Amino acid sequence: MKVRSVNIPNARLLEGQIYPFRVIKTISLDEGDDYFVMMDPNGYKILMPAVFYVNYGMQPGDSVLCRVDKINCNGRMFLEPMHPHYREGKTYSFPIHCKGERENILGMDEWYFMVKDIFGQKWKVRTYSKSLWEKPPGELKCLVKRIKKGKLFLAVQGEEIKHPDLEAGQIYPFTIVDERLHPDDKTTYYILADKSENKHLLKKKYYQNYNLEIGQNILCRVDKFSTEGFYFLEPEHPCYRQGAVYSFPVDRLEELVFTDGFRQKVLVLRDCHGEEVKIHITDEEAAQYENMSEIVARVDRIRKSRLEVTLHNQIT
């Protein structure tokens, strides 16, 4: 099998870790978007969208701590610079700009505040307490749950999750009761109901191959509680179960070539829907599997219908 080289325009850093980057300059691409040119600790450059961080005050020559927020399956790296004032997991007081009430995507009454951050930007904070909403303080203490693309995801300090009867990592039955367009992100979601008639969201675009329909009963794993106040649910895959071992056809062998000279072999498989499944392997494993048309792998995790697998045993 011929190895396909894929050049990755950044050095190899670890996902989730924080590194010092230097701001080299700002550039505008043909599409009209502005980017910061950032230099990593090894001296290699990466582009970071500027539009999300206009209030951060970053200038050429500045050293900025950035978290490697994500490295996709093709090795591309996405950065999140540390906020100049706020940190995830910390609680801060935010002035309340206004408050509102609406019917949310789940068809439930939702009370919320619009609060202002240190830059004067306004962020929505949901509350489950009608008494707090009716008689709010001048400032609201909020936990910073997450910061992504400069956006603050906030929760009122001390408020409990809405459906404490569901436990992360467990599997529960749900019924698909509706399909709706989210008013905020304009994305289509399935509306799922649990046995207590509590409603939950499931983003439709990740499960086009599952043939899901309104009225259908499905099993879902509760993956985790989201920063926006909803559970991430993962429906049972039509073909695979976590922890089980399956045969997968081999599509090709790739070698990711990073700018710092690091090379990573990647075995590309196909799942039952024809979607790519990638495994990072050693050079020794690449030599063992490069001429095989099918391999056996263990499904370690299924997230947004995508498989994360590890090699098991060679098919004999």
Domain boundaries, the chain: 3-81, 91-156, 171-234, 245-311
**pLDDT tens for each residue of 105-122:** 888 788 999 999 999 999
**Is pLDDT at 275 greater than 90 in this prediction?**
yes
**Is pLDDT at 124 greater than 70 in this prediction?**
yes
The residue ranking higher by pLDDT, 170 or 224, is 170
Cα–Cα dist 166/205, whole Å: 24
What's the whole-number mean pLDDT along residues 90-115?
91
CB 83 within 8 A of CB 151: no
Instruction: Name the token pair of 142.
Output: 């909020």
Cα–Cα dist 158/15, whole Å: 30
pLDDT at position 12: 76
Half-sphere exposure of 163 (CA within 13 A, CB side): 21
For 206, phi and psi rounded to 5 degrees?
-80, -10
What's the whole-number mean pLDDT along residues 272-278?
95
The answer to whether 3-81 and 245-311 have equal CATH topology is: yes
Q: Is domain 3-81 in CATH 2.40.50.140, yes or no?
A: yes
C-alpha distance from residue 79 to each of 41, 50, 92, 147, 150 (Å): 13, 11, 24, 12, 11
Q: Which of 16-25, 110-119, 151-160, 257-266 has the lowest mean pLDDT?
A: 257-266
Cα–Cα dist 221/235, whole Å: 6
Return the top range by mean pLDDT from 12-16, 159-163, 301-305: 301-305
CB 253 within 8 A of CB 5: no
Cα–Cα dist 264/278, whole Å: 12
213 falls in which pLDDT band (50, 70, 90)? very high
What's the whole-number mean pLDDT along residues 60-70?
95
pLDDT at position 225: 61
Percent of the chain with pLDDT over 70: 93
CB 94 within 8 A of CB 154: yes
Instruction: Name the token pair of 26.
Output: 């700002």
CB 200 within 8 A of CB 214: no
CATH number of 245-311: 2.40.50
What's the whole-number mean pLDDT along residues 29-53?
89
Percent of the chain with pLDDT over 90: 63
pLDDT at position 316: 41
Name the average pLDDT for the chain: 89
Tell how strand 3-8 and strand 245-258 pair up. Answer: parallel
The residue ranking higher by pLDDT, 183 or 150, is 150
**Is pLDDT at 162 greater than 70 in this prediction?**
no
**pLDDT tens for each residue of 281-316:** 899 988 888 888 999 999 999 999 999 999 986 544
For 307, phi and psi rounded to 5 degrees?
-95, 140
